[in-house]
Amino acid sequence: MNTELITQVAAFIWQEADMLDHGEYAQWLESWTPDGLYIVPIDPAQTDFANTLNYAYDNAEMREKRVARLGSGESISTSPVPRTVRDVSRFRVLSNDGTHVTVRCAQNLREFRKDVLKHYTADVSFELVRSGGSFLIRRKVVRLINSTDTLQGIGYIL
Amino acid sequence: MTNKTDAQQALTLGDRVQADRVHTSLYTDPAIFEQEMDKVFSSTWVWVAHASEIPEAGSYKNTYIGVQPVIVVRDRKQKVHVLLNRCRHRAATVCEGKKGKTNSFVCPYHGWSYSLDGALRGVPHPESYADQLEKGELGLVSLRVEEYAGMIFATMKNDIEPLVDYLGPAKKWMDLFMKQGAGYPIKVAGEHRFRFPGNWKIQLENTTDAYHFPLVHKSFLSSVDKQTEEMLDFVGGSGYVEDLGNGHSVMVMIPQLIDLEENLDAPIPARFAELAEQLRAEGHADQEVRRIVRAVGGSGFNLNIFPNVACSMAFFRVLQPISVNETEIHHAVITMDGGPQVANQARLRLHEHFQGPMGFGTPDDSEAWERVQKGASAGKDLWIMLNRGLAGEKPTPDGRASDVSAETGMRAAYQQWKKLMTA
């Protein structure tokens, strides 16, 4: 087992998680390749995301718009801003060709807004591309374990 | 002489719906909710599915009429049945899962099995009944089902008027809405499902509420191009809301998008320029490109069909009451069955942009409705005001109409509510 690689990808993914929990969206937007996709599917078994309905299917333009909306103060569902704390763990490298690394991990996120504490558990897959001494995200797929259930508004980035 | 409040005067149900207002208890009283399940949802036509959701023999969908679980299923002869999802033995549901395909329904508890039309086919170990089990009497309860423009409705009230009579002038708008297939059959290709802590009628009202759009959806409007933002600046425009009878109404926001097969020579909006290029590159002729692109953008109106479904610009909005203060909503995306992949992808992305728990629109609607329910617990003698646009309301061949942000559609729905609840 390549523990050095696991340490590298975990450090990168923890950094991303920390950015999202602390609203460092400008830096988060720079963590992507230009063709990167942030996807939250409905059907956990789905692989053809482009041709199916998702909760989110964000290219660079949509990611920027999502970030702009969260910080705009124009949306009553994100004012007040939800507070989130997420744990990411159970990293497993699925493939690594020296340039691209595919890694799967578990994410447990707690959200608090107004008077409600919510809990979202997800399987998250990353396709990372080596860049400098670190990585860029080419694809992030967040498969909520209750994605087929009725959900309420999620006013932040999973 | 005491000055009695409305509540002290013990308002009848009929009193609680006035021409220009409804009483707050319609959102908050659990006893009224119980009566609605019987007098509204069990006494009229209720939408259960679009035909494309059960495409083949054996295809089924589980849904609810009011709070009662039902199965919508297509049998081997392509006939659609709507069956109460309850074994006639000891009541267990015989079908689970949102959608699927099956040859029969078998109760998991004791194994009673039913055919796709609901008939009781067999029971394990029948000898104990000594040939006295009336199998012909013990099929799954089958409801009356009728269909218009691919939309399937069922009713628990067998002697009700035919569906087409109930829909009346709404039929014309359903036909117009289906033009967003651009010549291809309309296909429901998934849905966003969410719940909000509020009464179902709050959502019913919202489908014909143009007034909230620029305020609640400011963050969405900030995320679209200038041309689209101007198109969606319809409050104060030349649109209108029309009461179509039987609780149905239409809100026309963008009059030039009523008929998607007209105005095909109009310039293609900037946001669809790339899609148009892709379609041309795939070999579609110019008129076909224009027709598809126009359909992708959706219709310029919301049609509210009482009590539980709407044809809303580019999707079906379905509401399902859960309790007096909880409602489930489905926003079903519509695609062109067999249509160009790039066009359907565009429709999916447009749907994701606004709808669903991570959309730029739905969560803000949901928040506003939640606030309505919360606020409605204050001042229990107060009224919900629905008098906007009343002064300008005028008769039309199909009913009555007023300006685009009038509350005419809500008044129409509540008058139908009153008719059913006081019948």
Nearest CA to B74 among B95, B101, B98?
Answer: B101
Inter-chain CB proximity A76 and B366 less than 8 Å: no
Does residue B1 have a pLDDT over 50?
Answer: no
**SS3 annotation, B242-282:** EEEECCEEEEECCHHHCCCCCCCCCCCCHHHHHHHHHHHHC
Buried b / exposed e along B313-337 (16+ C-beta atoms within 10 A): bbbbbbbbbbebbebbbbbbbbbbe
Q: Which of B219, B222, B367 sits opposite A153 (nearest CB)?
A: B367
Confidence of residue A1 (pLDDT cuts 50, 70, 90): confident
- Mean residue pLDDT of chain B comes to 96
Q: What is the pLDDT of residues B65-115, one digit of tens each?
A: 999 999 999 999 999 999 999 999 999 999 999 999 999 999 999 999 999
Residue B328 in contact with partner chain A when CB distance is under 8 A: yes
Find the mean pLDDT for residues A135-151: 97
Confidence of residue A2 (pLDDT cuts 50, 70, 90): confident
List beta partners, residue B192: B331
Find the mean pLDDT for residues B13-40: 97
Find the mean pLDDT for residues B218-230: 93
Confidence of residue B9 (pLDDT cuts 50, 70, 90): low
E strand spans, B353-418? 383-385, 394-395, 400-403
Does residue B6 have a pLDDT over 80?
Answer: no
Q: What is the pLDDT of residues A27-39, one digit of tens each?
A: 999 999 999 999 9
Share of chain B above pLDDT 70, in %: 98
The pLDDT of residue A105: 98
Lookup: tokens for B101: 């395909």
Q: What is the pLDDT of residues B304-363, one digit of tens each?
A: 999 999 999 999 999 999 999 999 999 999 999 999 999 999 999 999 999 999 999 999
Find the mean pLDDT for residues B377-383: 94
Lookup: tokens for B91: 């009541």
> Number of helices (H) and strands (E), helices first, in chain B?
13, 21
The pLDDT of residue B236: 87
Q: What is the pLDDT of residues B343-360, one digit of tens each?
A: 999 999 999 999 999 999
Q: Are A40 and A142 in contact (CB under 8 A)?
A: yes
Rounded distance between C-alpha atoms, residue B289 and residue B277, angstroms:
9
Instruction: Report whether the peptide linkage leading into residue A80 is cis, meaning its omega lies within 30 degrees of zero.
Output: yes
Inter-chain CB proximity A72 and B222 less than 8 Å: yes
In the three-class reduction of DSSP (H, G, I as helix; E, B as strand; rest coil), residue B296 is classed as: helix
What are the DSSP calls for B123-178, one per residue?
Answer: -SSGGGGTT---GGG-SPPEEEEEEETTEEEEES-TTSPPHHHHHTTHHHHHHHHG
Confidence of residue B380 (pLDDT cuts 50, 70, 90): confident
Find the mean pLDDT for residues A10-16: 98
CA dihedral A67, A69, A71, A76 (to 10 degrees): -140
Does residue B7 have a pLDDT over 60?
Answer: no
Rounded distance between C-alpha atoms, residue B155 and residue B145, angstroms:
7
Inter-chain CB proximity B218 and A74 less than 8 Å: yes
* C-alpha separations of A39 from A62, A63, A66, A127, B355 in Å: 11, 10, 13, 12, 15
Q: Are B368 and A76 in contact (CB under 8 A)?
A: yes
- The DSSP 8-state label assigned to residue A151 in this structure reads B
Task: Tell me the chain B residues in contact with residue A69 when contact means C-beta distances shorter than 8 Å.
Answer: 219-220, 222-223, 360
Confidence of residue B5 (pLDDT cuts 50, 70, 90): low
Confidence of residue B8 (pLDDT cuts 50, 70, 90): very low
Q: Which of B341, B351, B364 sits opposite A77 (nearest CB)?
A: B364
Does residue B2 have a pLDDT over 90?
Answer: no
